[in-house]
Amino acid sequence: MRVERVISDENDSFPVGMRVLAVDDDPTCLLLLETLLTKCKYNVTTTSQAITALKMLRENKNKFDLVISDVHMPDMDGFKLLELVGLEMDLPVIMLSANGDTKLVMEGITHGACDYLLKPVRIEELQNIWQHVIRRKKFDRKDRDGSGSQDKPYIDSSEAAGLGNVDHNGKFNKKRKDQNEDEDEERDENGHDNEDLSTQKKPRVVWSVELHRKFVAAVNQLGIEKAVPKKILELMNVENLTRENVASHLQKFRLYLKRISCVANQQANMAAALGSVDSTHLRMGTMNGLGNFHTLAGPDQIHNAAFRSFQHSGVLRRLNTPAGVGISGLPSSGLVQLSPVQNLGNTSTYQRKLQSFVIPGNHNANILQGMPMSLEFYQLQNNRAASHVGQFPSVDNTTVLPVSSISGSLIDAGCSNSPLLGVTSNSLLLEGSSQLPTLHASNLRDSVSGFPNRSTLSDFTSIAPASNQLHGSKADIQDQAFPISCNAGKIISSAPQDWNAPKKDAPYQSNVPSCSINSLRAVNGDMAQLGQCLDQNNPIFNRNVGFDFVDPLSIKCSEGENLAMEPSVIEKEGYLMVQPSRQGIYIPDNEGENFAMEPSVIEKEGYLIVQPRRQGSYIPGNLGSLEDLASAMTKQDHDKGKPTDGDFGYNDYSLRTCI
Amino acid sequence: MDGYGMQNQIACIRRSLFDQGYLDEQFIQLEELQDDANPNFVQEIVTLFYTDSTRLIQNIELTLNSRPINFSKLDDYMHQFKGSSSSIGAKKVTSECAVFRQYCAAGNAEACIRNFQHIKQEHAILRKKLEFYFQMMGQAAVAQTR
């Protein structure tokens, strides 16, 4: 018989009673689904309309634990619903369809689906869907105070155990989107976050640069496709790190990669446009995200560490759909230039991902927008990227602006009011790309100036989303150490960069002497503001200690050291890895930590990597200034009620932190 | 006994449905879902399927009769039709739907129209068989209670 239906998933008897919302316009399938789910002892609510489902979900966010939805529905596309649910409610969503085309499945993934089931669905498949809830919850919990989840009795997996261990050094902090505060704290001190959290029951895992680097290395080693938390954990061999920590980080990373790839593409384009940009620099930025993506696919591709990150991103992108990938596109200029194509390729995927991810609704983000969820898109992007590389054509929707025009394009990108997401990616890309190439002072300058003064910020905001995406490709980001950061005020859309400790290549870092930053500054007053904003101890951004947007100017261009440079806004979640590297180079290392989290707006000085909160925090594209952007972001965060530090969401706060 | 005899008969009918390819293992899943809490599930869902699919069939007919034929719409309908028929384990119907979709994708109106006739036939045949099957089950249940 049906058993006790537990309303709260915290109940000991979970997964019994898990609350599932089933959506399918076909009554036969819906009845079957309902019966199957009931048989699995879940608490089922059904509706045949997506709109009704959304309404139910919006009414009470805590009413359901999981959503299962058909892809093909008359009133709303299943993917769209998926995106919205993911963004607004952050609930795990499982897609259901009679059509099992790879393309569709990929689209589902890029849109953020936890799983994709084929009709007719069997009970065995449904029996384990509760894992998605736990997984998400755990990771969320970890970031939060983490009191509860760990204790969940039903968690008998290692995760449960893992959670318990999280506290240790407080090294591991998971960025929680909802935990803005936490993130801020974390941001500020790369390693000190724990302290703040240590008071909490569940110590958060702080993904320090070091840790992230290890993570990325592990992922690279395994290959983004094969990177599973367990193995990564083994490879990393870090004490007190649980599988859950890794899993959640991985998820973010993937999103980051996605974002980056979009951005990267754009950046690549931009870089291309810039021409002289240090490839490394460019790479650092967006390309990383994007480029890495591809590179992820093919290790050879990424010559830079940055790329490496992409690679991961690439893989990730599959996982996490969000377009975050786009950002990854711009790895240090080197990357971008080096292999624009590569990046492009990656970017496209990333971008695609970013787009799909980023904007549920707004595909303005050039970068993001461009990303059709499908793979094709990616390729398209790639192509575009390739072509852009010389000129920053907008990658698929992202407007990759040539470095000089980057600013312009970014801005444009940003402007598109794509719901943050879109924009940000663009912006990010811009940043990324611009950064990369511009890292070289001159480059930046050009690009910077290129940026229209207008809504640069807004663009950035949009970029932010992109950055978020970038974050997705955390790996990329790392490499990407945005050059942006190097220069004062450059917005370090480091998202992409951060991921993989750009250290490796941190080309830009060295290359990007403050000039890039300066150039960024030139871009527009706004930018500068942004930069400032960014710079200001954006706690959010700087996860990494230290770097809080160091005044770009003050950053010495120590090439090579960039990596270590202050990690610009490194999003908690890893997304926003804007690190205004001193040298203007993206500090990849720092990224490691940040990449995980939502790409916030990293703006070092000009590059405002705004990461719109994934959760729907939307950064108005029209922010006139960085401040606006930042506030928008913050506001969004608040509005959403979710701290930006949440999972790689788009962290609005990133904007804030920038300054 | 009547009850037993009927059971036997029903079992034969059921087996033949599988053997002849009218039903596949999805139907077994449906049967497994039926339990004391849900004693008529199989019949319920099959009935629901037929009600809904009738509507779908009508829509498809309309679309097929309109000129020019809207293949994308056809594909949508057929996608849904295939989804629900596969959900109840209607093997032949589902495979005919797959064929139809191929023709539809190719824009082959004639083949679509022809194929659709097959679909309707299979759909109707299965319906009769299932109705008979359920009827027998109902009678057996009654006989058993005697």
**A182-186, A266-270, A605-609, A633-637 — which is least confidently predicted?**
A605-609
Percent of chain A with pLDDT over 70: 28
Contact assignment for B87 to A120 by CB distance below 8 Å: yes
Contact assignment for B48 to A97 by CB distance below 8 Å: no
Residue corresponding to tokens 């927008």:
A369
* B117 touches A: beta carbon within 8 Å: no
Structure-block tokens of residue A483: 């050059």
| HSE-up (13 A, CA, CB side) for residue A84 | 16
Which chain B residue lies closest to A30 (C-alpha atoms)? B84
> What are the chain B neighbours of A72 within 8 Å (beta carbons)?
76, 79-80, 83
| Average confidence (pLDDT) over B45-73 | 92
Contact assignment for A119 to B76 by CB distance below 8 Å: no
Residue A37 or A293, more confident: A37
- C-alpha span between A476 and A353 (Å, rounded): 14
* A75 touches B: beta carbon within 8 Å: no
Across the interface, of B32, B37, B48, the residue whose CB is closest to A28 is B48
Q: Which pLDDT does position A23 carry in this prediction? A: 93
> What are the chain B neighbours of A28 within 8 Å (beta carbons)?
45, 48-49, 52-53, 84, 87-88
Mean pLDDT of chain A, nearest integer: 54
CATH architecture assignment, domain A19-140: 3-Layer(aba) Sandwich (3.40)
Contact assignment for B45 to A32 by CB distance below 8 Å: yes
- C-alpha span between A471 and A571 (Å, rounded): 8
* A99 touches B: beta carbon within 8 Å: yes
Q: Which pLDDT does position A300 carry in this prediction? A: 43
* A181 touches B: beta carbon within 8 Å: no
Contact assignment for A35 to B45 by CB distance below 8 Å: yes
Q: DSSP character for A148?
A: H
pLDDT band at B50 (very low <50, low <70, confident <90, very high): very high
> What are the chain B neighbours of A39 within 8 Å (beta carbons)?
33
Structure-block tokens of residue B81: 């039709």
Q: Where are the domains of chain A?
A: 19-140, 209-268
Contact assignment for A26 to B33 by CB distance below 8 Å: no
Q: DSSP character for A324?
A: G
Angle between helices A102-110 and A375-391 (to 10 degrees): 70
Interface confidence, given as ipTM, is: 0.93
Paired strand residues for A70: A96
- Give tens-digit pLDDT for A116-174: 998 888 888 888 888 888 887 777 666 555 444 444 444 444 444 444 444 444 444 44
- C-alpha span between A261 and A599 (Å, rounded): 13
Contact assignment for A26 to B83 by CB distance below 8 Å: yes
Cβ pair A236, A453 in contact under 8 A: no
Contact assignment for B26 to A120 by CB distance below 8 Å: yes
- Å between B91 CA and nearest CA of chain A: 12
In this structure, whether the domain defined by A209-268 belongs to CATH 3.40.50.970 is answered with no
**A39-53, A608-622, B125-139 — which is least confidently predicted?**
A608-622
In angstroms, the first-to-last Cα distance of chain A is 59
- CATH number assigned to the domain comprising residue B63: 1.20.120.160
Interface of A with B in 234-293 (CB under 8 A): none
Q: Is the pLDDT of residue A74 over 60?
A: yes
Contact assignment for A29 to B26 by CB distance below 8 Å: no
Amino acid identity at A280:
T
- Å between A76 CA and nearest CA of chain B: 14
Q: Is the pLDDT of residue A217 over 60?
A: yes
Contact assignment for B36 to A1 by CB distance below 8 Å: yes
Across the interface, of B30, B41, B86, the residue whose CB is closest to A119 is B86
Interface of A with B in 333-392 (CB under 8 A): none
* B47 touches A: beta carbon within 8 Å: no
Contact assignment for A26 to B52 by CB distance below 8 Å: yes
Q: Write the Ramachandran bin of A641: left for phi over 0, alpha for psi from -120 to 50, otherwise beta.
A: left
Residue A133 or A477, more confident: A133
Q: Is the pLDDT of residue B126 over 90?
A: yes
Q: Which pLDDT does position A61 carry in this prediction? A: 75
- Give tens-digit pLDDT for B87-98: 999 999 999 999
| Average confidence (pLDDT) over A468-483 | 39
- Give tens-digit pLDDT for A241-259: 888 888 888 888 888 888 8
Q: Which pLDDT does position B143 carry in this prediction? A: 77
DSSP string of A361-425? S---SHHHHH--SSHHHHHHHHHHHHHHHHH-PPPTTS-PPPHHHHHHHHHHHHHS---THHHHH
* A51 touches B: beta carbon within 8 Å: no
Which chain A residue lies closest to B81 (C-alpha atoms)? A26
- Å between A120 CA and nearest CA of chain B: 5
pLDDT band at A271 (very low <50, low <70, confident <90, very high): low
- C-alpha span between A314 and B84 (Å, rounded): 35
Amino acid identity at A321:
T
Domain of B63?
1-32+39-145
* B84 touches A: beta carbon within 8 Å: yes
Contact assignment for A1 to B37 by CB distance below 8 Å: yes
* B87 touches A: beta carbon within 8 Å: yes
pLDDT band at A491 (very low <50, low <70, confident <90, very high): very low
Q: Which pLDDT does position A557 carry in this prediction? A: 38
Q: Pick from A330-344, A413-427, B22-36 the range whose average pLDDT is largest.
A: B22-36
Helix, strand, coil abundance in chain B, percent, nearest 5: 85, 0, 15
Residue A474 or A95, more confident: A95
| Average confidence (pLDDT) over A218-224 | 85
Q: Is the pLDDT of residue A210 over 70?
A: yes
- Å between B80 CA and nearest CA of chain A: 7
| Average confidence (pLDDT) over A539-551 | 40
Residue A187 or B13, more confident: B13
Contact assignment for A28 to B36 by CB distance below 8 Å: no
- Å between A162 CA and nearest CA of chain B: 36
Q: Which pLDDT does position A268 carry in this prediction? A: 65
Which chain B residue lies closest to A29 (C-alpha atoms)? B84
Q: Write the Ramachandran bin of A216: left for phi over 0, alpha for psi from -120 to 50, otherwise beta.
A: alpha
> What are the chain A neighbours of B88 within 8 Å (beta carbons)?
28, 32, 120
User: If you count residue pairs, one on A and one on B, with CB atoms under 8 Å apart, how many are there?
Assistant: 64
Total structural domains within chain B: 1
CA-CA distances (angstroms) from residue A388 to A47, A102, A281?
Answer: 45, 28, 17
Which chain B residue lies closest to A35 (C-alpha atoms)? B33
